[in-house]
Structures are given as C-alpha cells and as structure tokens.
Structure 1
Amino acid sequence: MVASHLGITASPISAATAAMITILAGQIELVQILKVCIPACLVGILAGVAVVWKKGKELEKDPVFLEKMKDPEFAKEIDAHSASDDAPLKPGAKISVIIFAIAVLLIVLVGAFPNLLPSFEPGAANLSVNANGTIKMAAVIELVMLGAAALMLLFTKTATTDVAKASLFTAGAQAVISIFGVVWMSATFMEANSATIEGALGDMVKAAPWTFAIALFILSMLLFSQAATTKALMPLGVLLGISPQHLVAMFPATNGDFVLPGYPTLLAAINFDRTGSTYIGKYLINHSFMIPGLVAVSVTVASGFLFAHLFW
C-alpha cells in the first residue's frame, strides 16, 4: 500500500505529476521529474521493505492466526480466498494491460520529446494550450488516457454499463468528487492566508529548503491526496524561491496520507488481509503502515535530493 502511494509521485500519468508539471511549467519537463522520482521512490520502497522484513511472526507461528484457524468458518473463508486467487483472467484482460502500457509509454515519449506534439498559433492560454501555442502536458496525459480507455472498451468488447457497476469505478468517482472538494477548500484557504503562511515558512525554508518537505508531509496527512497537496502548497514553494530541482526532490513528501488511518486504500488493505496481521492499533496511529511509511517517504525524499543533484 505504501509502495502504491509512492508510485503516484513516480508515475507519468498521475494527477499529482500533472499538477507538478503545470505549477513548474517552463522550468521542468516530465522526464526530469521521472529521472529523480522513479529511482528515489524505488530506494525508499526498498528501505520500507527492509525495516519490516522480519517484523512479527510467520503465519504458521503466529498465535493469533493459529487461534483463528480453529474456527471452521474462518478456515473455510481463508481457503476460499486462496482459491479465488487462482481464478482465470477475464477475456480481454491482457489486451487492456497492453493498451495501458502503450499509453504510458506514449506519454513518456512525448514528455521526453515535446516537439512530437502539434502546436498552435500563439495566443491567450487556456486549459489545454499554453500562451506560446504548445499543448499542456496535463492535457496530453488526460487525452491519451481517455483515448486508451476508449480503445479498451472497443477491443475488449466491454459494456460501459459493466464499467459503471465495477467497485473500482465507483470508488474512483467518489474520490474525484471528494478530492475536488478538498482541493477547492485548501486552495481557498492557502490563497486567503498566503501572506501569513509565506511569512511563517519563509525564513525557515530559506535557511534549510529541505524543511519544506515537512510542510508537504503534514498537509498531505490532512488532505488525503498527493494531487491536492501539490496544488495547494507547491505554488508557495515557488514563491519562496525554492529551486525546481529541490521541489521535485521533495515531491514524494506529499505521500503522508497513510498517517491517519482513513484513506480508502489503507482500509482496503486491512480488509484484504483476512489473517488479521494488518491492523489499526489501539492508539489509532500505531497501525501496520506507520513504520514502513515513515521510513519509505523519508528515504525517498533524501534520495530525491541526491538524484536531483546527480541528474539535474
């Protein structure tokens, strides 16, 4: 779960990355973000894995799990869950994965070589086109992925009604509405109090730019969204004069949404683990994700500064 969240800040198609490109337009390109964030996130994930590699007991020696297995209904449910993992893939599953992979590669390609994109007459900027007539990278990501979704429906002969009924689609639609509200609220708050916040953070950030990562992490704990945190706080980083390479290095610090155990993927991970070894502790924040999450994000940000220095 922690690795999947870090993957958002290392993905060329995520909303958070699109927001980062928009905020730092003209200062960075997609490839520069990926060159720093992909290796940094990999190092951070490995550190998170290492710190919990031997945490707890193996299931065959776990007294809590062994006690649960004495219940015939629980044992039957565990066996049924294991059998469901071996169920055959639905028709078209492999085709959809191939289409998705091609779409991701296409986005990376046009991010690396912007000249491949069509350009228009210079004029007033809008939601999709810059003032110089080039297409915004965020719009490219949206267009390519929407096109990929259409191709999946056509080639796999999947009914749109089936898509709308899928639990993942429902969860995604709810997330869009929720994040939109959070972004609107946070953007309103940040704009109304930008002078106060800038004054409070200014001296600290100018003395030690890396401390801005702490602010990103704390805000992401409250907003539950990497994209919302990026849109709310990264413009302030630009105003404070933090260099683009340092902002990119601190970009993975927006992954603090695991701290408070209310994020949907965190709760889903707990429900997926029928053994009970993934849990929320008595004091709420002493849950299974805290140690690997803190270690992974901290190491990722530290590695980000290193890779930004090496590759920029």
Structure 2
Amino acid sequence: MMLVAAQILIVLGAIVLGARLGSIAIGFAGGLGVLLLGMTGIPVTREDIPFDVIGIIMAVIAAIAAMQKAGGMDYLVHVAERLLRRNPRHITYWAPIVTYLMTLLAGTGHTAFSTLPVIAEVAKEGGVRPSRPLSIAVASSQMAITASPISAAVVLMASLLEPKGVGYLTLLAVVIPSTFLAILPTAFLTNYLGKELADDEVYQERLAKGLVAKPSGKLSEYTPTKSSKWSVGIFLFSILSVMVYATISTEQVGLISDPTIPRNEAIMAIMLTAATAIVLVCKLDAAAILNTPVFKSGMSASVCVLGVAWLGTTIINHYIDQIKSASGDLLSQMPWMLAVVLFFAAALLYSQAATTKAIMPAALAVGVAPLTAVASFTAVSALFVLPTYPTLLAAVEMDDTGTTRIGKYVFNHSFIIPGTLCIALAVVFGFAFGAVLL
C-alpha cells in the first residue's frame, strides 16, 4: 500500500512540477515521472505513448503554421473582427461563437490568441466588462477541441468507441450540437457576472492612472492578400477532405470497406499535403514556418502530450484491474461521475488528448456505456481550472481594464464559473443528444 501511495505521489508531483514550470516543461516533467515510476517497479513501454495523437497534432499544426505564414490567420482574424464590431454590446455572445468556430475548424485552441485582443477592444467600445466575453471565449475555445473533426482528442475518442459500435460521424453528431448549444445560456449568465464596467473599482483606478487605452472604434487597417485567401481556402478544403474520407471509410457508410490508408494516417497525410500546397501556391520560405507562433506552441503541445499522456497511461494500465473492481459499480450507478473524473484529470493533465488517452480506455474497460463516455467527453476541456493555461493568461494580460483577473486564492479567477457551467451544460446536452443518436 505504501508503494502505491508513493507512485501516486510521483504522478501528482510530476504534474504539479510541470504546471509550476509551465509551457513545454509540463511534458518534460511527465517524462521524469515515467522514469521514477519505472524505478518503483512499474513496467514502462512505448505502447503507452499516444504516437497517433502526437502525429495528428504535429501534422495539423504544420498546416496551420503554413497558413499563418501565408497571412491566412490574419485574414481569419480580420473576418472575425468585422463580425465582432457589428454589435459591441452583444460581444459576450459573439466572442465565444467566434473562438469556438475557429477552434472547431483548426483543431487547436491556439487560434484564439489572435482574437483575444479584438475581443477586449470591442468590449471596451460597447461599455461591456471585458472579463465577460474573454472568459467565455477562452472556455468555449477549449471546449471546441472536443467537437473538432480534426482534433487529436476527437480522433482518439472515435477510435476507442468504434469497437463499441459508435462511429466517427455519430460522435460528431452528438458533441458538435451539445458543445455549441452550451455556449449560449452560459454567455447569457456570464453577462451578469461581476460589476458593470463603469462601476468596477479596479477599472476606475486604472483609468485614473492612465493605464487603460482608449478603444479605436474602427476596424484595423488590413488588406487581405491573394496568398492569405489561398492559404485559408486550401486549409478549409483539407478539413473537408478529412471529413469526407473519414465518412466514406467508416463501417456505417462502407464506401471503402478496407481502406489502404486508415483514418488517423489519412488525417496526417492530408494535413501535411495541405501544408505542402500552401508552401507551393503561396511561394513561402518553408524554413520561416518554423518561427511562427503557431508552430512553436503546437510543437510544445506535442511534447506535453508525449510526457503527460505517457505518465498517466503508464500508472493506469498497471493498476487497471484494481481500478475496474473499485470503480465499476460506482460508475454504473452514477455514470455522471465519469464527467467529474475527466474534469479534474484535465485540470491536471493540461490537454484534452492526453486526458482522453489516460482515462477513457480505463473507463470503457470497466464497463462504462458508450452513451456515458460520449456525453462525458466534453469534460476533458477543463484546462481553465488552474489559471496557468496560455490562452487564459493571454486574456488576463490583454485586458488593460483589470476586470479579467486571477484572485489571491488562485481558483477564484474570471474563468472558473463560465468554464465549469459551459462544460456542465454540454455534458447534459450530450446525454440528451446521445440518448437519441446512440
């Protein structure tokens, strides 16, 4: 028993150390944890490393980074800015929709970085407390990962559920509407969180000190180039290609009964092909893509998934029989507990894909019903619980009014209520849609 306790402390200690160091060090610390687990007698194997997940992240990030270098991200932000500025007073509703859709299409939440300054600017123009749209925008961007057709978490989840009779299309048919519909009531309630901007003492204090920049009130000067439009078009076509291929190669459709390229490999190949096409069509210097912010953050995410998922899967697989006997009856009587487990695991593991890899196989192994697994899947998006995730910190830094803040008790930050509520509603909607479709 003492050995088990020590091994659990190793896992928790590695995760906490990684979280304190931040960024790519989360993955580094995961590798340290694996090394220490191996020294305590737990078998370590490469089979516990989610190479498919890492490969998909790398391929998708490569395509997005090429698009960013070609100006495609600037073009998408310009389109988003035009939409957001149409009605600044309703920014709390439009901001999460914009970040959700951008993440849904891109398969990574890093796209939200570009829109956060626009959201903060437009909120000030409309006299809206910026913490409201920023908090729900960050949360909805994280949640959209569990609905994106090309995200590593969704692809991994689909591969786990297919032996249970739930196909890729069915999974998307449940998670896309359940996550999107959760945004609207959450945005409505978020509009009542905190004081109005004009009544906020911190804002008034910063305003008096001249620390709050006046909103420009107009669109940023930007003229889309042919390269920017071509890169976006190629990327969107690649997403469509992935969805079409994944659809026709499923057992439910069966147009390709024995595909020579499996779905995961097809996603990687299509995304790398898209990156190639963007480089050729837009005449890019391929070496310059390595310096784009998206590429750097995406490769950092790959290392994080490598270390953290390997760490979590190693200890869970070693004790899978004990986990089955301890949790099987509990989850059968209270299936919603899976969502709670995923919620807190994601808060520590810092990755939707890593959390899915670490927890879902064990959950399905103990007899969790496919409906419960699909409905609870959205809970792997709880990356906002600890206020150290990059997009969360970026939102705090970009709000010069001071309304988006982290409290002195760490967990009393601007994102905890909107994020938790959004996930809870998505899980409820997931059970509702899943009961009909599964």
Do both proteins adopt the same fold according to a TM-score greater than 0.5, normalized to the shorter chain? yes
Paired residue for 1:106, among 222, 234, 241?
A: 241
Q: Match for residue 308 of structure 2? A: 182
Separation in 2 of the partners of 1:261 and 1:148? 35
Structure 1 pair 151–55 and aligned structure 2 pair: CA distance change class (3 A): same
Paired residue for 1:143, among 266, 269, 291?
A: 269
Q: Match for residue 128 of structure 1? A: none
Q: Match for residue 152 of structure 2? A: 15
Work out whether 1:33 is the aligned partner of 2:171. Answer: yes
Structure 1 pair 111–82 and aligned structure 2 pair: CA distance change class (3 A): farther
Amino acid at match of 1:3: S
Cα deviation code 1:139-197 (max 9, x no counterpart): 22222222222222222222223221122221111111122100111111111121222
Amino acid at match of 1:56: G
Amino acid at match of 1:163: I
Separation in 2 of the partners of 1:147 and 1:116? 23
Amino acid at match of 2:221: A
For the residue of structure 2 that corresponds to 1:216, the secondary structure is helix
Separation in 2 of the partners of 1:40 and 1:112? 20
For the residue of structure 2 that corresponds to 1:274, the secondary structure is coil
Alignment coverage as a number of residue pairs: 295
Q: Match for residue 220 of structure 1? A: 346
Cα deviation code 1:1-56 (max 9, x no counterpart): 10011100001000101111222233222111110001100121123212211323
Contact 1:261 1:284 in 2 (8 A): yes
Q: Which runs of 4+ in 1 moved over 6 A?
A: none
Which runs of no fewer than 5 residues in structure 2 stay unpaired?
1-137
Separation in 1 of the partners of 2:376 and 2:247? 22
Amino acid at match of 1:210: W
Structure 1 pair 95–185 and aligned structure 2 pair: CA distance change class (3 A): same
For the residue of structure 1 that corresponds to 2:405, the secondary structure is coil
Structure 1 length-normalised TM: 0.87
Q: Match for residue 161 of structure 2? A: 24
Cα drift, residue 90 of structure 1: 5.5
Q: Match for residue 49 of structure 1? A: 187
Q: Match for residue 202 of structure 2? A: 64
Structure 1 pair 8–155 and aligned structure 2 pair: CA distance change class (3 A): same
Contact 1:153 1:159 in 2 (8 A): yes
Q: Work out the percentage of aligned pairs sharing the same amino acid.
A: 36
Separation in 1 of the partners of 2:139 and 2:424? 12
Separation in 2 of the partners of 1:118 and 1:169? 35
Separation in 2 of the partners of 1:22 and 1:134? 17
Contact 2:162 2:168 in 1 (8 A): no
